[in-house]
Structure 1
Amino acid sequence: MMKNFLSLFILVFLSTTAIFAQNKKEVLMTINGDPVYSNEFERVYKKNLDLVQDESQKDIDGYLQLFIDYKLKIAEAQAQNLDEASVYKSEFNKYRDQLSRNYLFEDKVTEELAKEAYERSKFEIDASHILIRVDYESVPQDTLAAYNKMKSIRERALKGEDFGELAKTFSEEPGAKERAGALGYFTVFNMVYPFESEAYNTKPGEISNIVRTSFGYHLIKVNDRREKLPKIVVSHIMISDKKGARTFNPEERINELYTMLKQGESFESLAKQFSDDKNSAVKGGKLKPFTKGDLRAPEFEDAAYKLKNIGDISKPVKTDFGWHIIRLDEKLPMETFEEQRLALEKKVSEGDRSKLVTTATNNKIKEKYGFKKGTSFIPFFDTYVTDEVLKRKWQMEPIPANEDKTLFTIGDKKVVYSDFANFIDTRQKTTRLYRQKEALLVALYDEFETEQLKDYFKDRLKDDNEDYAAVLTEYRDGLLIFDVMNKNIWQKAKEDTLAVQEYYAKTKDNYKWKQRVDADIYSATSKIYAQQIQTMLDKGKTSEEIKIALNTVDKVNVIITPGVFEIDQSELPNNLEIKKGTSAVYPSNDSFVVVFIKDILSPGYKTLDEVKGKVLSNYQNDLEKSWMESLRKKYTVQVDKKALKHVKKELK
């Protein structure tokens, strides 16, 4: 009995496995004979279903039509050779390089460097330094002379000579004499890695060891080490002074709001009603957490960090964005390593620490696929490559077959001298200038070997990792769809102004003003003041006279907003009775509103200039619809009903 059960279980398991394997490679449809597989449709369906707005397209048959349109656009992009464009190739290769880093740099060294950076990021260093210039290409005599000069300076500093004076006298850094070598405060990733490491490993008040970077030899004096400020959360009310011709004075408005806050008015209500930062206004003015240096407004940051207690409110602050009132809401603890991990590892892999990571990664690839050195390149290339390469003018000559030896082998791929020669020929135009040919050849070889190892890894990665291949395909398709839509729809619509004008003329009934009012909106702090405003308006008082009568230097009781408003605009009270003259009193948030309607404007057509964005969008939609109809006629799409049935069963 058990034997029969096991046999049945194995049979079912093998059948299921076979069906699964078959489904992965099952052809769902063909477009002009080219296959599209079921597993691609299933993956895209599961990933994008929530983004589909039309309910009729959320079932499999409906979504299949969207998927066919998607594949037709890609087919047309390839037919128009958009996948051969240099801009497309550059963008795609850039993304492939970025994506593959997630797989290339999964080694211990990245994590260790990220953790080190995290610990350092908790502090800022204030330091001064002295630089004696010498690069890695300098001859040994010059390098030794520079080192001995720095050694002598260090001995004088250790004996107590003033570091700033030594910097003024000896440092070869531009501006050293004016700043006496002072760098100010810096933190992790602000300096090249060897310099940063020496600075963080030197105690305040002490002189560092001599450290070499690509700039030369450095000597560092650490003046101070302080904890970095934690992030804070604030809310703000912003009145922009860049919103064109305003009907009020922005500085006067922010001072009015500040006075109202001192009177006890709700910060959230005023932010919702008056702040020009609409993204934060809907949240009562609340901003995302930040620390100093995160925002492009140092005046804002300084004012925010001067607030000591939760709930404290700043006086009006001027920045490049306008006027602000800031309230301190929360002081956050330092983020954990795990919270910052992705960002730190990204910086490690892209900055000068990447050299350490690259070496470790190259070794990992060599171990994974097998690596064997061939014939040394120096003897041959030192003669083959002329000194013209130092001027970026070397002309490559073909390498005879009998001299085209193997540089190295990675996996099943042989890399030969001519591959390296082609790399030198191309790269010489963009590499930095060298004085010595051998130094240049060594640098180029290291770069070439790394490129070859990574390219081999990336090529194999498509076969080794299905998720990577899927993401890469989606990005490639996305680029192609953008390019084909831009060429055939978006750019065409933008450039054909006559066609847009004709389209507007045909569809202008879709672009009408609703009934509007030319009005002054009075927001009062109490019903009593609102009623006083009604009385004064009925007596013919102007808005300026009302403001003078009800507001004082220390107290704002009314804010006036003039303008032309559609009757359902949010600035107007709900259920406002539309008639000329003074309105009733309407409660709004924590204030009371009176509207004085000076004129009622009848519905009418909006001009093309007023609705150009919307007209252009609708025109593009109609263009795309016609274009898709032409693509469905151009390409033959055949859906395999049996495969579609399998897909439906799998997705249900």
Structure 2
Amino acid sequence: MNTRNLVVLLIFIGYFSGNAQNKKDVLLTINSNPIYSSDFTKVFNKNLDLVVEESQKNVAGYLDLFIDYKLKITEAYAQELDKDKQYINEFKKYQDQLAKKYIYDKRIISKLVVEAYDRSLEEINADHILVLSNLNDSPSDTLKAYSKIKEAHIKAINGENFTSLVKEYSEEPGAKKSKGNLGYFTAFQMVYPFENTAYSTKVGEISKITRTTFGYHILKINERREKKPKINVSHIMIFSNKNKKFENPEERINELYAMIMQGEPFENVAKQFSEDKNTGIKGGQLKTFGPGDLKAPKFEDAAYSIQNNGEILAPIQSAFGWHIIRLNEKFSIPSFEEQKDDIEKKVKGGARALVVTQAINNKIKKKYGYKEGVSCVPYFNNYVSDSILNRKWTFTPISLSENQILFTIGDHDATYIDFSLYLRDNQKTIKKYMNKESLLLDLYVRFKNETLENYFKERLEIENQEYATIIDDYRNGLLVYDVMNKNIWQVAKTDSTGLELFYEKTKNNYKWKKRLDVDIYSSSDESITKQVQILLNEGEELTNIKKQINSDGKINVITVSDIFEIDQSELPKGLVAERGVSGIKANDGFYTVVKIKEVIEPNLKEFKEVRGTVISNFQTEIEKKWMESLHQKYDVEINNKALKKLKKKLDN
């Protein structure tokens, strides 16, 4: 979900407009337009837990928020933001997503979910041969590709070496290196037709020829095995990029690994030194994950290579940095009920959607009545020029005398004219085709699917009150987001002069606390830390101290050099802010001594250092003035009798 949608749902969840009501239910009017008590009640009850201020958790206090919200909606319509193209597209996208909840055939979905779960319990290892063939290739090119895969299939069935056939026939990129082997895969990891073929072929057998969007495939199934379970691990991480604290990340991770091998508790080292702060404070523990969940193959492969709980792997490098990994626990495979919801989402959004679409179309046709008309191909093959293959077709209107019905759904006729407009509006978005007839047929299928769904959705807001409520809530929420974005957030970001003036006016609010430029030395052995303290008092520098203390390949002390505010967690608690060498502080199993090289007194932060915070505060000031202007622009009249009634009902 994008940021815009998230803000809309968080801020405006729960609001929806009332239906026709009696005049006595009017709570207030904005420029004589009525707002009903039932509107307020529904918003108040739904959003009460989101309200932070205690003073706003009663009717009188919340009324101000409610009026402000209604004023923003009113202003959004006044600025015609409901006609903005981006708004229309965003609203339609959400409308499409929501409508699917009401349009899906539950029996088909349930069958596909059970199938996917059963398959997910097993992983398949297979070799395959691919002959490339685009779905819109010319008939002659398609026949050529099919003949080639057919020839390979016959040889494979007759027992010829499959690896040799891969070298001879496969057009898959990288086939020579992989020898056609796909590794292990399970449900949802391959396109659906390919997955169907794999799971319907026995070990050691050659599959039937299978057509996908990539071309023609044949498979040889090598092995089936139970799917790997989810695991839980802890890690200590050092980022790959250089920073002020140390120069060599690999050297640092090896130092930490050496400490653990010398007996330091894994959790203590993670808390003290891991740069993944989110897990470091928990002793390095990650959330439980399964194969593919982390999108970090090197890390996952390393984690799954650990056999025993508690075993610690030597440092490995991933795309994100260096890690020391410890296996905490291996889990059993979740039950069907535990995975059902997640699998259902994948079924609705993945390659199985074609099966779902067919079921949806059948449901709509049955509900409203459907009748097929004339074929689109003969007329449109002549009407549309070959230039559409290059997305450069010039639209010409179809006359009413030529117009015919392609199909009828309910009381709606889909005609030649409708399809011609669809071609005009969508030709820029279509993929590359070699054959015009294939293009027209594919676009016609899309046109028919969308027409049937749109017919259903247009009636959904009338026929289903729950849907109408939710969609109206989102409609208004999106408008409020847009009106605030236009009048507040974007103004704050683009008014550079106003922003700088605001900073100058309020810069005393942005100050550094007292800061310390320090070298921090930590060891789990108090006697080691005392040695460091003595060396520091003798004037030794960091580099020499590390050489003396970390001798014979042992990592006895870990160092950090940086500038920290006095209350940052990196500094020991109770540290006195004076230049020189500190006393020894104990924390999380480590003993720390600090050399304070410089004490930096509190001073103003430069604008560039606090730009984000200044923008946020600038937005708050702009919003305050903008809301004052809306209250002046619109006449708000409150019905005190209705308000008193609400207080009696909701405040008790």
Task: Quote the Cα distance in structure 2 between the aligned partners of 1:618 and 1:224.
Answer: 61
Q: Taking structure 1 as reference, are residues 390 and 241 closer, same or farther at Cα in structure 2, changes over 3 Å only?
A: closer
Q: Cα distance, 1:304 vs. partner?
A: 1.3
| Larger mean Cα displacement after TM superposition, 156-165 or 305-314 | 156-165
Equivalents in 2 of 1:465, 1:488: separation in Å? 35
Deviates more, 1:550-559 or 1:230-239: 550-559
Partner of 1:29: 28
Q: Please list, as runs of the form range in 1=range in 2, the aligned pairs for 1:4-83 lying within 5 A after superposition.
A: 26-83=25-82
Correspondence 1:307-318 to 2 at 5 A: 307-318=306-317
C-alpha offsets along residues 576-610 of structure 1, whole Å, 9 cap, x if unaligned? 23333232222212122222223322222222222
CA 1:291–1:633 in 2, change beyond 3 Å: closer, same or farther?
Answer: same
Summarize the alignment of residues 549-628 of structure 1 with structure 2, pairs less than 5 Å apart: 549-628=548-627
Q: Given the superposition, is the C-alpha separation of residues 645 and 602 from structure 1 closer, same or farther in structure 2, using an over 3 Å criterion? A: same
The match for 2:542 is 543
Q: Counterpart in 1 of 2:291?
A: 292
Report the secondary structure of 2:586's partner residue: strand
Q: Equivalent residue for 2:468?
A: 469
Distance 1:379 1:288, change over 3 A: same
User: What is the letter of the counterpart of residue 45 of structure 2?
Assistant: K
2:532 paired residue number: 533
Secondary structure in structure 2 of the residue aligned to 1:259: helix
Matches within 5 A, 1:142-221: 147=146, 150-174=149-173, 176=175, 180-221=179-220
- List runs of 5+ in structure 1 lacking aligned partners: 1-18
Partner residue in 2 for 1:16: none
One-letter amino acid of the counterpart of residue 552, structure 1 = S
Q: Would the alpha carbon gap of residues 154 and 414 (structure 1) be closer, same or farther in structure 2, given more than 3 Å must change? A: closer
For 1:173 and 1:527, locate their aligned partners in 2 and report how far apart those are by CA, in whole Å: 61
Looking at structure 1, the residues matched to 251 and 23 of structure 2 have their Cα atoms a distance apart, in angstroms, of: 67
Asked if 1:349 corresponds to 2:363, the answer is: no
Distance 1:240 1:177, change over 3 A: closer
Alpha carbons 2:242, 2:248 under 8 Å: kept: no
Task: Tell me the distance in 2 between the aligned counterparts of 1:361 and 1:431.
Answer: 23
RMSD between superposed Cα atoms in Å = 3.1
Distance 1:216 1:281, change over 3 A: closer
1:12 aligned partner: none
Tell me whether 40-49 or 377-386 shows the greater mean CA deviation. 377-386
Q: How far has the Cα of 1:308 moved from its partner? A: 1.4
Write the deviation string for residues 611-650 of structure 1: whole angstroms up to 9, x where unpaired: 2221221112111111111122122233333444454455
Cα distance change on mapping 1:273 and 1:53 into 2, 3 Å: farther
In the alignment, residue 321 of structure 2 is paired with which amino acid? Answer: G
**CA 1:147–1:610: 2 relative to 1, 3 Å:** closer
Over residues 84-141 of structure 1, what are the superposed CA-to-partner deviations in whole Å (9 max), with x where a residue is unaligned? 2222222221222122222222421122112212222233323233344556667778
Tell whether 2:486 aligns with 1:490: no
Deviations 1:237-292 (A, max 9, x none): 11223264334543333233222222332322322222211111222211112233
Alignment of 1:271-350 (within 5 A): 271-350=270-349
Equivalent pairs counted in the alignment come to 634
Post-superposition shift, 1:510? 0.8
**CA offset digits 1:442-484 (Å, max 9, x no partner):** 4333222211111122222223333333332333333333332
Partner of 1:502: 501
**Could you tell me how far apart the structure 1 residues matched to 2:391 and 2:605 are?**
60
Equivalent position of 1:252 in the other structure: 251
Question: Quick one: which amino acid aligns to residue 490 of structure 1?
Answer: W
Query: Cα distance 1:59–1:390, how it changes in 2: closer, same or farther (>3 A)?
Result: same
150-159 or 90-99, which deviates more: 150-159
Q: 1:617 to 1:149 in 2, by over 3 A?
A: closer
- Any stretches of 5+ residues in structure 2 without a counterpart? 1-17
Q: Give the letter for the 1:74 counterpart.
A: I
- 3-state secondary structure, aligned to 2:127: strand
Which has the larger displacement, 45-54 or 354-363? Answer: 45-54
Once the two structures are superposed, what CA deviation does each residue of 1:127-172 show, in whole Å capped at 9, x if it has no partner? 2333445566677787667656544433322222122323333345
CA contact (8 A) 2:128 2:218 kept: yes
In the alignment, the residues of structure 1 paired with residue 411 and residue 507 of structure 2 have an alpha-carbon distance, to the nearest angstrom, of 66
Q: Which range moved further: 497-506 or 642-651? A: 642-651
Note the C-alpha offset of 1:395.
Answer: 4.4
Partner amino acid, structure 2, of 1:427 = N
Higher RCO by CA contacts (8 Å cutoff, separation 6 or greater)? 2
Q: Give the drift of 1:334.
A: 1.6
User: After alignment, is 521-530 or 169-178 more displaced?
Assistant: 169-178
**Deviation at residue 558 of structure 1 after TM alignment:** 2.4
Correspondence for 2:222: 223
What is the letter of the counterpart of residue 187 of structure 1?
T
Distance 1:389 1:533, change over 3 A: closer
TM-score, normalised to structure 1's length?
0.88
Give the TM-score of the pair, scaled to structure 2: 0.88
Q: Is the 8 A contact 1:523 1:558 kept in 2?
A: yes
**Residue in 2 aligned with 1:6?**
none
Q: Structure 1 residue 363: deviation in Å?
A: 1.0
Q: 1:634 maps to what in 2?
A: 633
Secondary structure, counterpart of 1:234 in structure 2: strand
